[in-house]
Amino acid sequence: MSSDRRPIAAANWKMNLLRRDAADYCRALRSGFVGRRPAAEVLLFPPATLLTTVAGGIDGLADVACGGQDLHPEAGGAHTGDLSAPQLADAGCTWVLCGHSERRQDHGESDELVARKALAAVGHGLTPLICVGETADERRAGRTFEVLGRQLAAAVSALEGRFELAYEPVWAIGTGKTASPQQAQDVHAHIRGKLAGLDEAVAAKVQILYGGSVKGSNAAELLAMEDIDGGLIGGASLDANDFLAICRAGNA
């Protein structure tokens, strides 16, 4: 851990779970944290249909927050199917994912669009968690650092440090493959160095989460690395007990 802050455990539910599941999940978190402060700062990113359920379910629960999985850069207008930053805030969100690899791949989101979304989030009081990372083809071609540099430059130039980061090795998401803790640390250290080259103050305060198949069995070892400040968890976050195990791994 490179930051004085506690690690962040961020659950990205993607397109999973229903209202009953979400309510049960929030009750399990309350039970799991009863009488003690979570070891990690806990973030839940449910589908849009579950935002109000989750925001209500965690209301009053210290160190647990709700975020949106995406947003439109405009505050309103004729954008069918999209959500704006004011709407996310109104639903109880304080965070939002920007540029998740699945948005970049499935919807062709550019670095410039991701930066616009993150800027819109900040402008309406939301903290953007900006996702960066290389695909398997980019990794095989030796372009990991080139891709990360391009993605980071767009975010840093627009936001002046008002964000957090998640490194997603796209080749490890949902594949069961995981970078070794040292491999993940090496990339995180590069990201922090790249940030320092762009803005030293930003590099010192931004937390960098690892988002490549984090689970209870590897979370503690990953979080022990100097530049890994938490995890963005997908499949392993869908079960509340599994997610609680990851939250407890960041025992600070």
CB 34 within 8 A of CB 243: no
Cα separation values, 221 from 111, 135, 148, 179, 247, Å: 31, 24, 24, 12, 13
Cα separation values, 25 from 28, 42, 70, 92, Å: 5, 13, 21, 17
Dihedral sign from CA coordinates of 247, 50, 92, 58:
negative
Dihedral sign from CA coordinates of 176, 33, 26, 75:
negative
Dihedral sign from CA coordinates of 98, 100, 103, 109:
positive
Separation between Cα atoms, residue 66 and residue 46, nearest integer Å? 8
The two structure tokens encoding residue 67:
């975020």
Q: What is the distance of C-alpha 230 from the center of its chain?
A: 9
Separation between Cα atoms, residue 21 and residue 35, nearest integer Å? 24
In the chain, the DSSP E strands lie at: 8-12, 41-45, 64-68, 95-98, 127-132, 164-167, 208-210, 230-233
Backbone angles phi, psi at 167, to 5 degrees: -90, 120
Residues labelled catalytic: 100, 168
